[in-house]
Structure 1
Amino acid sequence: MRTHKYRTTDVAVDGGTLHAGVWEPVETIEGAEVPTALLIHGITASHLAWPFVVAQLPDHRVIAPDLRGRGGSHAVAGRSSMRAHAADMQALLDACGAESAAVVGHSMGAFVAVVLADTAPDRVTRLVLVDGGLPFDVPAMPDLEPEEVVNAILGPTAERLSKRFADVEEYLAFWRAHPAFQESWSREVEQYFAYDLVPVGSSLRPATSLETTIEDMLDLNTGSTLTDALARVAGPHAVRDAGQPSVLFYTVPRGLQNEVPGLYPPGYVEGLLAQHPVLEHHRFEELNHYSVVMTERGAAVLGGPLREAITERPAAVG
């Protein structure tokens, strides 16, 4: 059953035009306010990562961007950073007439969501972080070059960004063999990957450039933007009064290569929860970093807690 009507929109941002998908609910109650959910994708993804999750939110209008440097926003100029992404999200909400929204971020999108909640807390009614948003369990790598840091964290995902593909079928074949998707292939996943390609000469490349990915990874792993935002949004001093929403933090046991442990091993999560007392943590078993949002099964597991979280007690975060 179709839950939403889908359209796209283009929004002027600093450096160019941001592309986004908008899903309007098919059934609404006359006169009732339709709440908005803003879904923010991961580091090399696009708005087409979200259709299965959108179907789990039949009562919400859903807005999902292609972050600058990705998908239909790949031509946006200027340096990429969490603050730049957060500013783009505010412009997108403005253009869609949304004063505020429940914000759900996956992977790097969760870090963008944290910075958005810090810089514009009145725009965020609920903050949900899906396998991202908190520092990953990776060793310090002070002596590595920027590209080496990206490769160390993202592995083959980063290597792919430098590859060229003869046609869409070659790119799809690359992903069909990926361990995270061998049991999770679908028509929606195929559309997502086909959308990811942009022409370069006589071949095709992923829309996300390695340069853009390095910029974002450096921003996440150096400087104080993220650490300062996390301290204000989820640190000890950010404990909320009774009745105010906590920050939802969802993790899965398997990583980008379907490996165990994933980005947030259980013991490591315990430390994060101790450092960030406003976090409410849920772990979804038998899912990997991609399948939690990009499969019908994963979205069904995520959907119940997510609907409950973003429909209860709307109140600004921060």
Structure 2
Amino acid sequence: MQSPTPEELRIPVSGGDLAALRWPAAGGDGAGAATGASGTPPVLAVHGITANGLSFGAVAAHLAPHTAVVAPDLRGRGASGHLPGPYGLGAHVDDLVAVLDHLGVERAVLAGHSMGAFVSCLAAVRRPDRFAAALLVDGGYGLAAPPGTDIEAVIGPAMARLRMEFADRDAYRGFWRRHPAFGGELPEVVDAYIQRDLVGAEPHMHSPCVEEAVRTDGAQVLADAEVLGAVHRLPCPTRLLWARRGLLDEEPGLYTPETLTSLAEAGVPTEEVPGTNHYSLLFDPESARLVAERVRDLQRQSAGA
């Protein structure tokens, strides 16, 4: 399913303007595009640690006919790469609330991928008045990393990419084609996502992701007590989807059935998305459709609460 072209938004936040993408609900415009015909809460999509809002393009293609989807480029990433610190997941929560305020949205359903799932948990705990439900996509629950682990050891090539230069956009495509999680294939929705992550002039193009932002956020994902505890204190309907394979298409991925047992016992449903890795979970047509379905399930659940 081809993703429709989103609107580009600029939203005032601390230190400047946050970039965001909006896929309006069918027939909607402006603030009136905040909800679908059913009046369910709109979707606020929160991307991963070195990603950008277009990582949710394939999912938005399934959601946008029914409800608005807004996907910010988080502070220090994508078209928000210019925003200064302080970084950290609390700053992202403040920025998400600023997005809702700017759009005149009272409450939204969160969909967070990877680090964005940890941001979503923290947002739901800190601001239960603004967030009605949270779908966690391969993230949000503490990773089995030894104490003192550096985030670069977890995300590998994603961090190395931030220090690289590329002669042109085709060279950047070549980098991603060689990435084991993509297996040489770059569908249109993936190409749009990676091209949003490239700035500068030839032959010195580079990612706009700020390494300091990635390291600050990554340290909190791995070791901050409030961030790691948020998933156990969620005040709203929540579900975690997970991929058996990881960032490099390896097994196991970030989670296993065994590591997720305590989360399920705590009342947070977990669901494996078959045949996916950490990236393809969002981009594969069938898994993107499933992610969208689970978001809509949470919308209906929260609307009926």
Q: TM-score higher than 0.5 here?
A: yes
List 4+ stretches of structure 1 deviating above 6 A: 28-31
CA gap of 1:186–1:5, structure 2 versus 1, over 3 A, is closer
SS of alignment partner, residue 260 of structure 2: helix
Aligned residues of 2:26 and 2:67 also touching (Cα < 8 A): no
Match 1:257 to one of 228, 248, 255: 248
Q: Percent identity?
A: 33
**CA-CA distance at 1:201 after TM superposition:** 8.7
Match 1:55 to one of 58, 61, 68: 61
State the partner residue of 1:82: 89
Match 1:115 to one of 113, 122, 125: 122
CA gap of 1:313–1:111, structure 2 versus 1, over 3 A, is closer
Match 2:107 to one of 100, 106, 125: 100
CA gap of 1:303–1:230, structure 2 versus 1, over 3 A, is closer
Match 1:124 to one of 126, 131, 156: 131
User: Separation in 2 of the partners of 1:15 and 1:313?
Assistant: 33
**CA-CA distance at 1:180 after TM superposition:** 0.8
After TM superposition, list the pairs within 5 Å mapping 1:292-307 onto structure 2: 292-307=281-296
Say if 2:185 is the partner of 1:179.
no
Aligned residues of 2:177 and 2:186 also touching (Cα < 8 A): yes
- RMSD value over aligned CA atoms? 2.3
Say if 2:289 is the partner of 1:283.
no
Aligned residues of 1:4 and 1:26 also touching (Cα < 8 A): no
Aligned residues of 2:40 and 2:299 also touching (Cα < 8 A): no
SS of alignment partner, residue 206 of structure 2: strand
After TM superposition, list the pairs within 5 Å mapping 1:37-52 onto structure 2: 37-52=43-58
User: Separation in 1 of the partners of 2:16 and 2:222?
Assistant: 26
User: Separation in 1 of the partners of 2:38 and 2:180?
Assistant: 44
**CA-CA distance at 1:126 after TM superposition:** 1.1
SS of alignment partner, residue 55 of structure 1: helix
Aligned residues of 2:111 and 2:120 also touching (Cα < 8 A): yes
User: Separation in 2 of the partners of 1:31 and 1:165?
Assistant: 44
State the partner residue of 2:76: 69
Aligned residues of 2:53 and 2:73 also touching (Cα < 8 A): yes
Match 2:238 to one of 226, 247, 260: 247
Match 1:33 to one of 4, 28, 39: 39
Query: Comparing 214-223 with 154-163, which one deviates more in the overlay?
Result: 214-223
User: Separation in 2 of the partners of 1:99 and 1:231?
Assistant: 24
SS of alignment partner, residue 9 of structure 1: strand
- What is the letter of the counterpart of residue 111 of structure 2? V
User: Separation in 2 of the partners of 1:4 and 1:196?
Assistant: 19
Query: Comparing 5-14 with 60-69, which one deviates more in the overlay?
Result: 5-14
Pick the structure with more strand per residue: 1
TM-superposition CA deviations, 1:241-264 (whole Å, max 9, x none): xxxx53211111010001111100
**CA-CA distance at 1:66 after TM superposition:** 0.2
User: Separation in 2 of the partners of 1:5 and 1:198?
Assistant: 20
Instruction: State the TM-score, normalized to the length of structure 2.
Output: 0.90
Aligned residues of 1:4 and 1:25 also touching (Cα < 8 A): no
TM-superposition CA deviations, 1:17-39 (whole Å, max 9, x none): 10000111225799763631111
Aligned residues of 1:19 and 1:73 also touching (Cα < 8 A): yes
**CA-CA distance at 1:227 after TM superposition:** 3.2
Query: Comparing 25-34 with 125-134, which one deviates more in the overlay?
Result: 25-34
CA gap of 1:127–1:291, structure 2 versus 1, over 3 A, is same
Instruction: State the TM-score, normalized to the length of structure 1.
Output: 0.87
User: Separation in 1 of the partners of 2:13 and 2:104?
Assistant: 16
User: Separation in 2 of the partners of 1:254 and 1:77?
Assistant: 34
